[in-house]
Amino acid sequence: MRVTDRVKEILSYYDGERPGVKANLARILMQGRTGGSGKVVILPVDQGFEHGPARSFALNPPAYDPHYVFELAIEARLSALAAPLGLLAAGADRFAGEIPLILKANSANSLGTVKDEAITAGVRDALELGCSAIGYTIYPGSERQYEMFEEVRAGAAEAKASGLAVVVWAYPRGGLIDGPGETALDVVAYGAQIAAQLGAHIIKVKPPTEAIATAEAERIYRESAVDLSQLSARVGEVVKAAFAGRRIVIFSGGPTRGTDDLLADVRAIRDGGGFGSIVGRNAFQRPRAEALAMLESMIDTYLGLSPSVRA
Amino acid sequence: MRVTDRVKEILSYYDGERPGVKANLARILMQGRTGGSGKVVILPVDQGFEHGPARSFALNPPAYDPHYVFELAIEARLSALAAPLGLLAAGADRFAGEIPLILKANSANSLGTVKDEAITAGVRDALELGCSAIGYTIYPGSERQYEMFEEVRAGAAEAKASGLAVVVWAYPRGGLIDGPGETALDVVAYGAQIAAQLGAHIIKVKPPTEAIATAEAERIYRESAVDLSQLSARVGEVVKAAFAGRRIVIFSGGPTRGTDDLLADVRAIRDGGGFGSIVGRNAFQRPRAEALAMLESMIDTYLGLSPSVRA
Amino acid sequence: MRVTDRVKEILSYYDGERPGVKANLARILMQGRTGGSGKVVILPVDQGFEHGPARSFALNPPAYDPHYVFELAIEARLSALAAPLGLLAAGADRFAGEIPLILKANSANSLGTVKDEAITAGVRDALELGCSAIGYTIYPGSERQYEMFEEVRAGAAEAKASGLAVVVWAYPRGGLIDGPGETALDVVAYGAQIAAQLGAHIIKVKPPTEAIATAEAERIYRESAVDLSQLSARVGEVVKAAFAGRRIVIFSGGPTRGTDDLLADVRAIRDGGGFGSIVGRNAFQRPRAEALAMLESMIDTYLGLSPSVRA
Amino acid sequence: MRVTDRVKEILSYYDGERPGVKANLARILMQGRTGGSGKVVILPVDQGFEHGPARSFALNPPAYDPHYVFELAIEARLSALAAPLGLLAAGADRFAGEIPLILKANSANSLGTVKDEAITAGVRDALELGCSAIGYTIYPGSERQYEMFEEVRAGAAEAKASGLAVVVWAYPRGGLIDGPGETALDVVAYGAQIAAQLGAHIIKVKPPTEAIATAEAERIYRESAVDLSQLSARVGEVVKAAFAGRRIVIFSGGPTRGTDDLLADVRAIRDGGGFGSIVGRNAFQRPRAEALAMLESMIDTYLGLSPSVRA
Amino acid sequence: MRVTDRVKEILSYYDGERPGVKANLARILMQGRTGGSGKVVILPVDQGFEHGPARSFALNPPAYDPHYVFELAIEARLSALAAPLGLLAAGADRFAGEIPLILKANSANSLGTVKDEAITAGVRDALELGCSAIGYTIYPGSERQYEMFEEVRAGAAEAKASGLAVVVWAYPRGGLIDGPGETALDVVAYGAQIAAQLGAHIIKVKPPTEAIATAEAERIYRESAVDLSQLSARVGEVVKAAFAGRRIVIFSGGPTRGTDDLLADVRAIRDGGGFGSIVGRNAFQRPRAEALAMLESMIDTYLGLSPSVRA
């Protein structure tokens, strides 16, 4: 399949980047049902590490098995599977060549109190496993934020030199940010900007709420008189914050919830110019058939097809 | 597209190899019209370096342009494009993600008298350009053969550690081998064995003639009473020499000649259990439309379809 | 264009420095409308990272796009563009060779409470992007100041060994310095001295106020009976603090404000012997035409031409 | 000065290359009187090393002084100055920023009998001296050709990683090539192809004669029925051999001779699609005024202006 | 003592070089009786290694003792002492700070047949011994010349990065050069040029004879109609060959001979613009008092004083 004009346009945003990085971005952008459309739907399965296995997998026990999540991503014809080292290593051989892999290279858990992540994998691992990208979480605002930025920078430089794409999960927290502030529009947009400045090719954020956390941003948004009551408008602001749409910004699905809610979000992401979804718990915590149906509907929505939800 | 059972079977020959290597082999095996069939057709364009630009491209001047050969490989829906550093670098950005690339990492020319090749690229280059494999020529028998083997070994080890597949062009020459001996059955088979022993994943040889270059090999072949008068039988012997078919062995097309001749070879390669063709001059020295028709017929033949030659 | 005598004189201040560093300083000093005059006007766009995207760009949304700020700097015929890694990487290919680039190599944000910066880029990045200089912020006085100095020193040594010029943003804060003290004359001059001692070739400071933060400095200034009521006199004191004018000292524009105010500052900087301005928000937060007119007036002022403000 | 459309087109041939490399190519292509036209005229002064100082400089003794050749290149408003380490180091400080420098990184002399060159400088030197490119001579065909190729490859990879452009002087000699063969059309074209495959951005060759050195090339050229009796047609063939014009190919001036002869060559280079001249002895062995007049006429010719020879 | 204007002028020839290198050159140029005059007289004692101890020292047995040669150089108030590692290490401690040292870093002997030298010391040794410079011999023309150039280049780069000056002994031999050719004017000049191109700060050559070894050089010298019958004129040609006098060129004394002969040479070196002498056997093979008298006369001659030979 030839790379489509829309995907070539997106690749052109990364001019000056090594061709190998573009080839790996193209792999993700041309994969699966959304392939060629400029939209992506990615399955992330790092919750076992981040939230613990019971919270993550007990609702749908087959998901304890790495092969299950590989098969789910492949069968749903998604764009990529993102996970930490151990999980990817448990399936990369058996499913070699079936779906682009994103190696989540730093990880935290919910047992401790330090707002930081450990580097748990490297570029060498990503190459050995045949990954297309490497990913890092940052916590802008936290006490360890600058150390995290430096780790991302080092890893990103090495990844790009090896032709790998770089994904950054931007989750502001700590510092001057309170709980609601973590998903406030200005804060989410700020996280996207920082990820772009650090050299991320793909940026993952949470869907922004109507909250504005900082007084100055609130004043400026108010003066600019843009109506931010709709999620689609807020998605547009976040995408603008990532170099005016020149970086692939995708939105997380959050905790498990109803399919209608999810699809409403997807429509808003699509209408606001977002590049897609990264949806984990809402996929692997549902029973397999239900998950596949939900993902099919999400993709239909991104492709502008009449949704075909059967759940 | 799911990796097919046939391709999974071929990948299983490489068990123990890093998943990234398998993913890159899968990329080549799943690409283009032969994708999934277990057969490959590869376009190599190293003749500008090896034979000189006039001899290589003056018959069909558009082929002087690297973009032309990228487009030819893509439009003909081949499995991969193989070329030296300069040529790949001249198209890897524009055609990122469109076709697997094989970086030819050593090169010789026809101006000198030393039977050797220079290392002209490395694994770092292959990663930066987004290649799926790196390739080396060896001259078993030549005065420099052992230095060449050592260079291949070093490059192959580094390539595998980076998840890249390794292709070896096995061209016995020099030493005890005279001109006709270079394509003698026992010699071609010997070259394939050496390539396999050096760790090649894909092995390129020339179609073997009926000649047997060494007395001992001739006696043994005679005693075994196998009928080697047909190319298909000889292809079978060469494939056996590469770990009983556990390595992908492909056959070169040689100097430009008629389509009927070429297709007869392809049938013999197919019937003898060969994995495909690597066809350069016969592709890029023909006018574009003629080349596309010829390649389509080659692929039809590999796929067992009724050939559709229009030339 | 031959390097002018004035620029050769400035370059002679850096005798003993590697010729590559001088060549890069010459590039900045010979670029644009002020080229050859010994004055520079630089566009810095690190506010997206430092203050957040909404505060920085929502007032003039086209500025969200990195290409916009490249074009603004080029069209206004400025001396250089300074920005963090991500922003420069988003335009360095398209605008290659059009304007000298300064890679801002450390970055902070306004979400956290730690007075520090993360190292977010390196000399290798600067070379790959074709930059003429690398830049660092220091916070003399802060709790992390000495770690910051050590990072600057290490980066500056590597930069000089690669022929790159070094820019230091000297922003005293924290420690014994209160809010008004950050722009007090003695403190600004102290920051300039520290930057010069760390090996900076170009030093950025804020225009100093009439405040004197330390009792000893106040006594000495009073005894010396210099009239410091005018900004031009204070600029002169800061320039003296940077090795008696042997280092290029430039002054920031601060928050967005009226053109008359800005031009008054520029006249004072010029009359006090300052080397130029680094003006970000006052440039990219204005509508494009207005920004170009303002920058033209600034440059006219530096060149001693009759200002041509049209805003 | 904005980069012209023609220069942007040339830079686009190098897509996928690092932005720093493009910026350095742009520097050369935008410099001097030919700046922006897509043509270049370069002064090389490596003859003191290659041929000896008396043969090189005694005809015009001021040329013994490195400052003289710097000034000649600058005053004639050429595109770049190319020379070995010692000569560049003797002027890089004084003339910092005045003209792009190309560091000739390997060198031979005419006292010995070995067809090889010594590595006499490296990328680190080029960066310290503020060079825009690094250059290597290769002798395709010679007994040491493959070692030379490997040295070029290693140097080129390091240069590109540092944002420097790579120039290759392609001088086939030795091996199967006799004296007249060194400038035979097919051999010159072969040298250009090899340089391009090794990753050169700029390729220097000698103007090809009507001779064809290899039987196969002669047959193919005869069959293709192209009239090669004119130098312009032969220049066209050589440019095609460098990736169909996607690499900057420039032609040497050879031993000192009359201005009319030189200008006739320049017209042929221009008409055949060559990118310019690299003219050493014909420039620095003439008295200064005569050299400036000759260079002015060369440039006039490239720019399509009525020549203004006054010699 | 202030650095004199003449020495400052010589140091200016090395503009762009690191200040530490200039400081070490200044140390040599300001030392001893010629200090400040721009002339140097250096004592080299590498003959024990190069020619064997009996040939070198038996004529004046006290010279077997390294302390003797240190004392000779110091008492004669010379500019520097040059010797291999072992000899310098035997006196560097006792005579620390008394005279600049030049570590001869490669060495050959007269027992073998290979025209090459071994690297027998390094920059680290030079720093540990407190040397001001490091020195290398090259044999332009020999079969190993290019390897020698590469060793010099590597050593010189490291030396300069450590602030050490670099001395090159340029002795063309082998290849196309016969015995008389080794001291032919054009060949000596060629050696000086190569040393300068390799980055030498101080170049040692033999006084050139009237012979011209190459036909082309002879033609050019004849055409230029310069009278080369006097040594002073030939010295002038050699000095021109080292960047028109921008490098310190010094001349060896050769085998032991009469003081009148030596002083005649010195006058010619002085009148031709040479920078001084490096005189070994003629110094340490004479009895101490005689040697001191001869050196005093040499220095008187360089300083333009009425010679005061008492021998």
Instruction: Check CB contact under 8 Å for D217 and B54.
Output: yes
3-class DSSP string for C145-210: HHHHHHHHHHHHHHHHHCCCEEEEEECCCECCECCHHHHEHHHHHHHHHHHHHCCCCEEEECCCEC
Least confident of C2-16, D41-55, E110-124: E110-124
Instruction: Check CB contact under 8 Å for E15 and C18.
Output: no
Does the pLDDT at position B111 exceed 70? yes
Confidence bin at A65 (pLDDT 50/70/90): very high
Radius of gyration of chain C from Cα atoms? Answer: 18
**Tell me, what's the pLDDT at D272?**
97
> Who among D23, D89, D124 is closest to C97 (CB)?
D23
Residues of E in contact with C19 (CB under 8 A): 16
- pLDDT (tens digit, 9 = 90+) per residue, D258-276? 999 999 999 999 999 999 9
**Tell me, what's the pLDDT at C26?**
98
Measured distance CA(A145)–CA(A152) in Å, rounded: 10
Residues of D in contact with B120 (CB under 8 A): 149-150, 153, 197-198
Q: Is E182 on the interface with D (CB under 8 A)?
A: no
What mean pLDDT comes out for the span C80-95? 98
CB-count exposure of residue C224 (10 Å: 0-12, 13-18, 19+): exposed
Instruction: Check CB contact under 8 Å for B98 and A3.
Output: yes
Q: Is D92 on the interface with C (CB under 8 A)?
A: yes
Chains that touch B (3 or more CB pairs under 8 A): A, D
Give C263→chain A minimum CA distance, Å. 25
In a mutagenesis test of the E interface, which of C13, C14, C15 is the best target, namely the one with the most E β-carbons within 10 Å? C15
Residues of A in contact with C89 (CB under 8 A): 16-17, 199
Give D4→chain A minimum CA distance, Å. 19
Residues of B in contact with A24 (CB under 8 A): 97, 130
Instruction: Check CB contact under 8 Å for C54 and A143.
Output: no
Instruction: Check CB contact under 8 Å for D54 and E172.
Output: no
| Closest chain D CA to residue B69 | D243
Read off the pTM.
Answer: 0.95
**Tell me, what's the pLDDT at E81?**
98
- pLDDT (tens digit, 9 = 90+) per residue, D138-174? 999 999 999 999 999 999 999 999 999 999 999 999 9
Residues of A in contact with C117 (CB under 8 A): 146
- pLDDT (tens digit, 9 = 90+) per residue, A139-198? 999 999 999 999 999 999 999 999 999 999 999 999 999 999 999 999 999 999 999 999
Instruction: Check CB contact under 8 Å for C68 and A189.
Output: no
Does the pLDDT at position B37 exceed 80? yes
Measured distance CA(A133)–CA(D81) in Å, rounded: 42
Least confident of B196-205, C6-15, D187-196, E215-224: E215-224
B–D CB contacts, 8 A cutoff, strictly below: 136
Give E308→chain D minimum CA distance, Å. 37
Confidence bin at D253 (pLDDT 50/70/90): confident
- pLDDT (tens digit, 9 = 90+) per residue, D96-148? 999 999 999 999 999 998 888 999 999 999 999 999 999 999 999 999 999 99
Q: Is A199 on the interface with C (CB under 8 A)?
A: yes
- For D72, other C-beta atoms within 10 Å of its C-beta total 22
**Tell me, what's the pLDDT at D307?**
55
For D161-193, the DSSP string reads HTT-EEEEEE---BTTB-TGGGG-HHHHHHHHH
- pLDDT (tens digit, 9 = 90+) per residue, A79-119? 999 999 999 999 999 999 999 999 999 999 888 888 888 99
Chains that touch C (3 or more CB pairs under 8 A): A, D, E
**Tell me, what's the pLDDT at D310?**
43
Radius of gyration of chain D from Cα atoms? Answer: 18
- pLDDT (tens digit, 9 = 90+) per residue, C267-300? 999 999 999 999 999 999 999 999 999 999 999 9
- For D16, other C-beta atoms within 10 Å of its C-beta total 24
Confidence bin at B215 (pLDDT 50/70/90): very high
- pLDDT (tens digit, 9 = 90+) per residue, D211-238? 999 999 999 998 888 899 999 999 999 9
The set of residues, in sequence order, having a beta carbon less than 8 Å from that of A88 and lying 6+ positions away, is A66, A81, A101, A103, A129, A131
**Tell me, what's the pLDDT at A308?**
53
**Tell me, what's the pLDDT at C310?**
43
Q: Is C27 on the interface with D (CB under 8 A)?
A: yes
**Tell me, what's the pLDDT at C226?**
86
Say if residues D113 and E176 touch (Cβ distance below 8 Å).
yes
What mean pLDDT comes out for the span B239-250? 97
Confidence bin at C311 (pLDDT 50/70/90): very low
Catalytic residue among E39, E204, E206, E240: E204
Residues of C in contact with E163 (CB under 8 A): none
Measured distance CA(E161)–CA(D127) in Å, rounded: 14
> Who among C55, C116, C122 is closest to A146 (CB)?
C116
Does the pLDDT at position D25 exceed 80? yes
How much is the mean pLDDT over chain D?
95
Q: Is C87 on the interface with D (CB under 8 A)?
A: no
**Residue ranges of D 151-170 with Cβ closer than 8 A to chain B:** 153, 157
**Tell me, what's the pLDDT at A311?**
40
| pLDDT-above-90 percentage for chain D | 93
Does the pLDDT at position E123 exceed 70? yes
Give C161→chain E minimum CA distance, Å. 9
Catalytic status, residue B204:
yes
CB-count exposure of residue C174 (10 Å: 0-12, 13-18, 19+): middle
**Tell me, what's the pLDDT at E223?**
86
Does the pLDDT at position C107 exceed 90? yes
**Beta-sheet pairing, C133-138 with C118-119:** unpaired
> Who among C54, C85, C121 is closest to A221 (CB)?
C54
Cα–Cα distances in angstroms (integers) from residue B26 to residues A3, A99, E105, in the given order: 19, 11, 56
**Tell me, what's the pLDDT at A1?**
67
**Tell me, what's the pLDDT at B1?**
66
**Tell me, what's the pLDDT at E23?**
97
**Tell me, what's the pLDDT at E114?**
80
Residues of B in contact with A103 (CB under 8 A): none
**Tell me, what's the pLDDT at A307?**
56
**Tell me, what's the pLDDT at B308?**
52
Residues of C annotated as catalytic are: 204
Q: Is B127 on the interface with D (CB under 8 A)?
A: no
- DSSP secondary structure letter of residue A207: P
Chains B and A touch (3+ CB pairs under 8 A): yes
Cα–Cα distances in angstroms (integers) from residue A63 to residues A57, A59, A77, A309, in the given order: 6, 9, 17, 22
> Who among D53, D90, D93 is closest to E241 (CB)?
D53
Confidence bin at E309 (pLDDT 50/70/90): very low
- pLDDT (tens digit, 9 = 90+) per residue, B6-23? 999 999 999 999 999 999
| pLDDT-above-90 percentage for chain A | 91
CB-count exposure of residue E176 (10 Å: 0-12, 13-18, 19+): middle
What mean pLDDT comes out for the span D65-77? 98
Give D34→chain B minimum CA distance, Å. 25
In what helix (H) or strand (E) does residue C283 lie, and over which residues does it extend?
helix C281-284
What mean pLDDT comes out for the span D6-20? 97
Least confident of A158-162, B221-225, D174-178, E183-187: B221-225
**Residue ranges of A 259-298 with Cβ closer than 8 A to chain B:** none
**Beta-sheet pairing, D80-83 with C202-205:** unpaired
| ipTM field | 0.94
